[in-house]
Amino acid sequence: MKITILTLFPEMFSTLTHSILGKAQERGLIEIRVVNIRDFSKDKNKRCDDYSYGGGAGMIMTPQPIFDAINSVCTDNSHVIYLSPKGTTLNQNKVISLAQNYQDIVLVCGHYEGIDERIIDLCVDEEISIGDYVLTGGEYPAMVLVDAIARYVPNVLGNENATEDESFSTFLLEYPQYTRPEIFMNRGVPEVLLSGNHKEIAKWRENKAIEITKKRRKDLYKKYIKDLSGKKN
């Protein structure tokens, strides 16, 4: 899996490329490249923003540097995603389908008031949003997307069980979890977790996961029920 991030603020990605994903990169499982759009500006002052046609406050990212940056990194196999509040909202199904269908993903991060619409028309395959709130740029959304996708690249986590364990519960919240000590501030741990009865533990956890999902996230619960009946039929 190769992910290229195009941004005016490449420094924002240094922790991402160094942490967990840094190890995966060393092992050659995933390649994350951060490209500074400014390096492609043909303006004498390397400017990448300009006033909005029609007026109004705020600057727009000018098309030339983004267009050249995209063309310099794209191949026929690249899937170009613009992180945008106008995009379809990201969810786990989308994450899995991106991870499974594309080997080469290019992420374009907007800043200021956004990018020139012609870039979207000419170069962007898909717009994705991470949720409904105002942000200053698409950089954090890009990091969210990379983190979510990387978990589905085989062997990246060094923790294959994590993704396996979730398979029955893509739509469920997690059961309550406990670690040592057995008593903390006078509070114990549910008896069943100390029983060593793995079948009972699995049953308890699944029930707890279903219970919390039904209570807190009716929308996810309904998806889970739908998914269950889909698997039976």
| Footprint on this chain of ligand 4FN (rule: CB under 6 A) | 83-85, 110-111, 114, 129-138, 141
- The residue (of 7 and 78) whose beta carbon lies closer to ligand 4FN is 7
Please say which residue, 140 or 168, places its beta carbon nearer to ligand 4FN.
Answer: 140
- Collapsing DSSP to helix, strand or coil, 13 comes out as helix
Q: Give the nearest distance from C-beta 69 to ligand 4FN in angstroms.
A: 16
Cα gap 120→80, rounded to integer Å? 10
Q: How far is the CB of 198 from ligand 4FN (least distance, A)?
A: 41
Report, in Å, the least distance between residue 152 CB and ligand 4FN: 20
Amino acid at 119: I
Reading the block at residue 133, the tokens are 């709130």
Query: Measured from the CB atom, is 75 or 133 closer to ligand 4FN?
Result: 133
Q: Which is nearer to ligand 4FN, 121 or 191 (CB)?
A: 121
**Shortest Å distance, C-beta 111 to ligand 4FN:** 5
Distance of CA 35 to the CA centre of its chain: 18
Cβ(218)–Cβ(172) under 8 Å? no
| Closer residue to ligand 4FN, CB minimum distance, 111 or 205 | 111
Token pair listed for 44: 């004498």
- Nearest distance from C-beta of residue 231 to ligand 4FN, angstroms: 31
Q: Where are the alpha helices (DSSP H) in the chain?
A: 14-18, 20-26, 63-73, 92-101, 117-123, 139-150, 160-165, 198-216, 218-232
In the complex, the smallest distance separating the C-beta of residue 187 from ligand 4FN, rounded to whole angstroms, is 39
Angle at 112 between CA 114 and CA 69, to 5 degrees: 60
Alpha carbons 203 and 210: distance in angstroms, whole number: 11
> Which residue, 127 or 166, has its beta carbon nearer to ligand 4FN?
127
Token duo for residue 221: 């619960």
